[in-house]
Structure 1
Amino acid sequence: MQAKDLNLILASTSPRRRELLGRFGLPFEVLAVEVEERPRSGEAAEDYVRRVASDKSGQGRAMAPEETAVLAADTEVVLDGHIFGKPQGPEHAREMLGRLSGRTHEVLSAVSLRWGDRHWEALSVSRVRFRDIFPQEIDAYWASGEPADKAGAYAIQGRGELFVAELRGSFSGVMGLPLLETARLLQHLGLETERLLAGAPP
């Protein structure tokens, strides 16, 4: 497949994922999908994030035209094996950020690409260390509105970066779509890295 012939769908309405995928200069459409995002009993965090990303791309594949490639992703914050998800309200956000305060957590970001009956996957694992966070900072951060729909109740690309003392891994992965892993998956569609760096023609 050549870039000029590429029909690509991003199975996500996340503005962060749209922004990140847009950096490649590829034409793509956005498709809203809804899958259950709840860990199964005994399911490891890596297995969970891979499954959710796969479910999203699978649903997108079922809804999209046959010749269309479908890309999806899922990102989760994990501490001590516990998947944090998105906060359900201010108290939940306070609990999350309080537990993350002064500690190192993992951010797992799985990417799933389907084209026809083919399926490719990748996983990015990043480690983020937070400085100590004061309760009044958590309250002020919640009041900003930023953490309400974010995994782990923070956005590293926004005000949440003020909590980050150290990052080992992928900044874009923590945002929600790891560009390194995504670029490698797109190579299966004939899109080499130099083409992505230059910006593929529409």
Structure 2
Amino acid sequence: MLSTKLSKYNVILASNSPRRQELIKSLDIPFSIKTKDIEEIYPKELKHSQITDYLAALKASPFSTELKENDLLITSDTIVWLNNKALGKPKNYNEAFNMLKELSGTTHEVITSICLTSKTFQNIINDITIVTFKELLDEEIDYYIKTYKPFDKAGAYGIQEWIGKIGITKIEGSYFNVMGFPVHKLYKELSKL
């Protein structure tokens, strides 16, 4: 199994996201959590998965000098892509409200990139899930933001939360990708090591 294959590695997840921690835990591999704060800023000319690929690699960069021989670092980034622009994490209530208003009654893409970094290699993979929302009422958006405070989530929503249950009408692709990790792709990539 994967835990046997990875026994020679010290797997480190660089993420404060409880969802990512839960999803990697579900692969039954031992790992530790180490995080460093970085500003998630990317060159404006980047589009679509180029953004998440760039940011996932950027999140690995502060660790580069301290990785030991058998360390395997996992970093990740997720955006919502709508109307040719990226929706990241909202900074406040108004931003969250406006994002959800934009997503209401539309179909968007959720893009997650994962970067695997060791002393000798760096691999980046990504996945795309297509998500459709019903027309959301203003009071539904207001209730969700005030109750769930989705300020740590790309596009201002968590698919596993209330808004996902009442608002999402269709999903094409990996549900877990929308939660923050395309677990099937991560498993496949780790199995190659």
TM-score (normalizing by structure 1)? 0.88
Amino acid at match of 2:11: L
- C-alpha distance after superposition, 1:81-133 (max 9, x if no partner): 11111111111111100000000001000011012221111110111000000
What's the counterpart of residue 17 of structure 1? 20
- C-alpha distance after superposition, 1:137-170 (max 9, x if no partner): 1110111134122110100011121211100111
Displacement of 1:4 in angstroms is 3.0
- C-alpha distance after superposition, 1:174-199 (max 9, x if no partner): 0111111101220232xxxxxxxxxx
Pair 1:31-2:34 in alignment: yes
What's the counterpart of residue 3 of structure 1? 6
What's the counterpart of residue 163 of structure 1? 167
Q: Which deviates more, 60-69 or 98-107?
A: 60-69
Q: Is the 8 A contact 1:17 1:176 kept in 2?
A: yes
What's the counterpart of residue 71 of structure 1? 74
CA distance in 2, matches of 1:39, 1:68: 26
Amino acid at match of 2:168: V
Displacement of 1:3 in angstroms is 3.2
After superposition, the Cα gap between the structure-2 partners of 1:4 and 1:46, relative to the gap in structure 1 and judged at 3 Å, is closer
Could you tell me which of 175, 184, 190 is aligned with 1:186? Answer: 190
Displacement of 1:135 in angstroms is 0.3
What's the counterpart of residue 60 of structure 2? 57
Displacement of 1:45 in angstroms is 2.3
Aligned-pair identity in percent equals 31
Amino acid at match of 2:158: A
Displacement of 1:60 in angstroms is 3.1
The correspondence of residues 48-197 of structure 1 with structure 2, limited to 5 A, is 48-161=51-164, 162-189=166-193
CA distance in 1, matches of 2:188, 2:60: 17
Structure 1: which 4+ aligned runs deviate by more than 6 Å? Answer: none
Q: Is the 8 A contact 2:109 2:129 kept in 1?
A: yes
Q: Is the 8 A contact 1:7 1:28 kept in 2?
A: yes
Please give the root-mean-square deviation of Cα atoms over the aligned residues, in Å: 1.5
**Please, which runs of 5 or more residues in structure 2 have no aligned partner?**
none
CA distance in 1, matches of 2:73, 2:177: 18
